[in-house]
């Protein structure tokens, strides 16, 4: 999750253009996707991803990290989308690798994914992971904090329960002022 130092993951009116994102964001995400067995999204983030990544290989001007992410998606990385509104038609061109999970089935599905080998990684999808956190289904957070006060409408942790975390790692990047904080959720 990318956030400004003030804890917002999007600007006013859901404006993503104000986010302090440089290519370090893509480098970090490529690393997480490389290590993931499965990707998990809510409906809004899924629509953004399926609308963006399939076109990257044909477009010029994308970084090596963006090309790497697009390659993982084109190669069929399994995707689960939690939504009551998505249809099979909405999953094009990722139809063969996407499983739509209805909200009523989300907790059981995510619990089953946690029991399998390999990481399941959630990108964005604040409402989805806040709900999963409430039900003890989130193990770790990777927060990329960028050097900007975003001054958005909704804090990234709005709706999340009080949760004790343990700092696992702090990652700095030579060519960026962003940092990644890796936290584990404390069992409690």
Beginning with the edge strand found earlier in the chain, give each strand of the sheet holding 79-82 in spatial order: 98-101, 79-82, 36-42, 119-122
Structural domain count of the chain: 1
Q: Domain range holding 158?
A: 2-185
Q: What is the pLDDT of residues 103-152, one digit of tens each?
A: 999 999 999 999 998 999 998 888 898 999 999 999 999 999 999 999 99
Percent of the chain with pLDDT over 90: 79
Q: Which CATH number is 64's domain given?
A: 3.40.430.10
Cα 152 from Cα 36, distance rounded (Å): 30
β-bridge pairing 179-185 and 140-146: antiparallel
Cβ contacts of residue 3 below 8 Å, gap of 6+? Answer: 9, 143, 144, 145, 146, 150, 156
Confidence (pLDDT) at 188? 65
Q: What is the pLDDT of residues 24-82, one digit of tens each?
A: 999 999 999 999 999 999 999 999 999 999 999 989 999 999 999 999 988 899 999 99
Confidence (pLDDT) at 108? 98
pTM for this entry: 0.91
Query: How many CB atoms are closer than 10 A to CB 96?
Result: 9
Sign of the alpha-carbon torsion through 59, 33, 138, 90: positive
If you average pLDDT over residues 173-180, what whole number do you get? 94
Q: What is the pLDDT of residues 7-29, one digit of tens each?
A: 998 899 988 888 888 899 999 99
pLDDT at 102 over 90: yes
Confidence (pLDDT) at 43? 94
| 91 closest CA partner among 70, 73, 113 | 73
């Amino acid at each position: 999750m990318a956030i400004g130092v003030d804890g917002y993951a999007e600007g006013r009116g859901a404006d993503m253009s104000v986010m302090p994102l440089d290519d370090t964001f893509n480098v970090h995400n490529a690393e997480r996707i490389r290590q993931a067995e499965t990707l998990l999204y809510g409906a809004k983030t899924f629509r953004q991803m399926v609308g963006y990544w399939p076109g990257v290989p044909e477009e010029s001007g994308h970084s090596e990290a963006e090309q790497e992410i697009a390659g993982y998606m084109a190669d069929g990385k399994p995707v689960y989308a939690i939504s009551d509104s998505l249809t099979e038609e909405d999953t094009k061109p990722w139809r063969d690798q996407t499983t739509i999970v209805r909200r009523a089935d989300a907790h059981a599905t995510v619990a089953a994914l946690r029991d399998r080998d390999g990481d399941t990684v959630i990108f964005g999808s604040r409402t989805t992971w806040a709900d999963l956190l409430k039900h003890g289904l989130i193990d770790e957070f990777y927060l990329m904090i960028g050097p900007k006060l975003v001054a958005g409408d909704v804090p990234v942790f709005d709706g999340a329960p009080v949760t004790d975390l343990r700092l696992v790692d702090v990652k700095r990047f030579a060519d960026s002022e962003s940092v990644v904080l890796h936290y584990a959720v404390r069992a409690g």
